Amino acid sequence: MVSHVHVILCMPPAISPSYIQHNMILMRKSRLLAQCLFLSTLFCQLLASRIIASPLALALFAAPNSSSPSSCLDLDLDLVDVNDCSDHSIVSSPADAVRGGAAVVLGGIRVDNKSRDVILRFLHNTSHNKGTHTKHNVKKLDETFHIQGWRWHFMSLIRDSRRLERLASHLANIIREEEDDDSESVAAGLDALHRAANYVINFNMAGLYRIQSGMFLSFLREHLCDNNSLRRIIHGDDGDDVTAEIDAFRKVVDAIDTYRVQSENIGRELYERAKSASLSKSSFQQKQQLLDDIIHSSKQLVDQLSTMRHIQETLIVPSISRVVPSKVQKSFNNRVLLSLGILESRLHLVGMHDAVWESGEQVEKMAFEKEIPYVARMMIERWRQSLYIPKAGALDYESS
């Protein structure tokens, strides 16, 4: 009897089925609310970074905020020498920059002294203009370059071209040391070279130049070779003669386009040689010659791209910042986003990240971290393993 009472006293109160069902409904609603909050937060982040329509496409032509640092714009523009193709070119005095030296010449392309000096003088004379003047209003310009992905893509392509040259040199040394040109190590190395060239030329360069030829050069001509745009910046006087400035910008833009065509031709020949070298029917002497040609073409490509980038950094980037309002630049970014694909954007983002970090320039790293959304930056290492290495990993064959 005692034990029976003890058991009764120790039993928990009865729980009705309706009570249990009610609590289960509350738990399901709580979980659903938590999921909705998480998805809403993620959606807002993606929407703010413009990666809903094309995930991570933003990275290719990212639009930074006005406080983002820019390595080019940190230079004193009237001390820039466009003929110096080093990474940071500062001449001894402003007078030297105005007078200039020899024109930039490479592969028959010429940016003459007069055109360069006209643009540098235009940048110097408008350095204190803080707004775009019209008869009825003054619109403030923050003089910030908002198309950073264009710059980073060039850095990435130059870096990959150098990696391709190192790989070809490494394989050339192996072939010279190998007695059997049909050995597995030689065949594997040449196959890796073929895949590496395919990535550098047919993906990285092709992606950059598709945007540049199809959209960016038209954007440059529309704004830098336009009477009204330049007149508003100089003094706001509709009667100002900007013929010299327009002619100078037109020559520079045409030179950049010529560089593009020539570097595309170099890249096309380079890829065909890498493809031929990977074929088993090629003789030992043919493979050696093809590798020597690839090394030479890679060096030539790096020179072309470096000179092209230098002209853009010293003349085009600061001019866009001075002439084109932020709103227009960002609108152009949105148009570019529509032309990009998901896979391509992710691969380019990894390559641009590596180029920025390898440059060692803190200002570029800060800009990258500020302009690329947090979610995208967190995904870089995952995309490196799942997407980038399978496609571009052959560039690291020599260290594998």
User: Which distant-in-sequence residues (6+ apart) come within 8 Å of 371 by Cβ?
Assistant: 62, 63, 64, 65, 68, 148
**Multiple choice CATH, 49-399, 1.10.760.10, 3.30.9.10, 1.20.120.520, 3.40.630.10:** 1.20.120.520
* Confidence at residue 94, expressed as pLDDT on a 0 to 100 scale: 29
At 282 the pLDDT is: 75
Question: Is residue 75 pLDDT above 60, yes or no?
Answer: no
Question: Token pair for residue 217?
Answer: 């050069």
**Distance (Å, whole) CA 66 – CA 91:** 28
pTM recorded for the entire structure: 0.72
Per-domain residue ranges of the chain: 2-44, 49-399
Quote the CA–CA distance of 388 and 2 in Å, as a whole number.
75
Half-sphere exposure in the Cβ direction for 256 (13 Å, CA): 25
One DSSP character per residue, 105-141 reads EETTEEE-HHHHHHHHHHHHHTTT--EEE-SS-EEE-
**Other CB atoms within 10 Å distance of the CB of residue 46:** 18
User: In this structure, are residues 274 and 194 in contact, taking their beta carbons and an 8 Å threshold?
Assistant: yes
Burial tier of 177 (Cβ tally within 10 Å: 0-12, 13-18, 19+): exposed
Q: Which helix or strand (DSSP H or E) is residue 104 part of?
A: strand 104-106
Question: Which percentage of the chain shows pLDDT scores above 90?
Answer: 45
What pLDDT digit, counting tens, does each position of 96-113 carry? Answer: 222 233 344 444 456 788
- The pair phi, psi for residue 282, each rounded to 5°, is -70, 135
Question: In this structure, are residues 316 and 257 in contact, taking their beta carbons and an 8 Å threshold?
Answer: no
pLDDT tens profile 260-311:
999 999 999 999 999 999 987 778 888 999 999 999 999 999 999 999 999 9
Q: Is the pLDDT of residue 365 over 70?
A: yes
Cβ atoms of residues 260 and 357 within 8 Å? no
